[in-house]
A and B are shown apart, each in its own frame.
Chain A
């Protein structure tokens, strides 16, 4: 089955540590995204990528880093510079960034908690 997979589902991090969240898709989509969702709030864009080896900052990129070495994979690293990392992280993909009415497909999310 085609889809988008995030791992792990739950992640606990000590303060001062970097952690990497995995996102893999087998939908052959060019565009991939990382969003953060806090309780009672909408999704905020962290980073997005429209093609391999290219990525752009979203609205809240500080304290995060990404890479796009393969079309299928778009890992997100939450660094120690991110002051409030506890949140629900969602990865998404779409065919590309150019077509109208293009649906975004989401992974099941990773809940990160700083302990």
Chain B
């Protein structure tokens, strides 16, 4: 079983739609959670961190459910510029208590005009 699993999509939605992505993680000791965005053939960039109480940044809302070990990303009023791959990232504790980032395979989103 992969440590971090995401639905690969693709999700094709019209402009203005609301879309949600889920991500599950297997290590219950995971401590930090993030969503990164990766445009085609580019490097990933941090979209937002995910906090226990849930957090919102404009049209984007992230939530964490530790009991069920999943995180979610909700995008409201989708824009064409939201088209990208969204990577779920969790931090796991490796040897010596160092934290490592573990990436999901990503969910591809295409927003259609």
The interface of chain A, by Cβ under 8 A from chain B, is: 33, 35, 40-45, 48, 50, 56, 58, 88, 90, 92, 97-104, 106-109
Contact = CB atoms under 8 A, between A and B. Distances in A.
Given A88-B41, A100-B32, A106-B43, 16 more contacts: A40-B8, A42-B103, A43-B44, A43-B87, A44-B103, A45-B100, A48-B100, A90-B43, A92-B101, A100-B91, A101-B32, A101-B34, A103-B34, A104-B46, A106-B44, A109-B43
Contacts of A97: 98-100
Given A90-B43, A100-B91, A107-B43, A42 B49 contact: no
B28 interface: no
B31 A100 contact: yes
B71 interface: no
Given A97-B99, A100-B31, A100-B91, A41 B43 contact: no
Interface of B: 4, 8, 31-32, 34, 41-46, 49, 87, 91, 94-95, 97-106
The 6 tightest CB contacts between A and B, nearest first, are: A106-B43, A97-B98, A42-B105, A42-B103, A43-B103, A100-B32
14 contacts: A35-B103, A40-B8, A42-B106, A45-B100, A50-B98, A56-B98, A97-B99, A97-B100, A101-B49, A102-B99, A103-B34, A106-B45, A107-B43, A108-B43
Nearest to B51: A101
Nearest to B91: A100
Given A40-B8, A40-B105, A42-B105, A98 B97 contact: yes
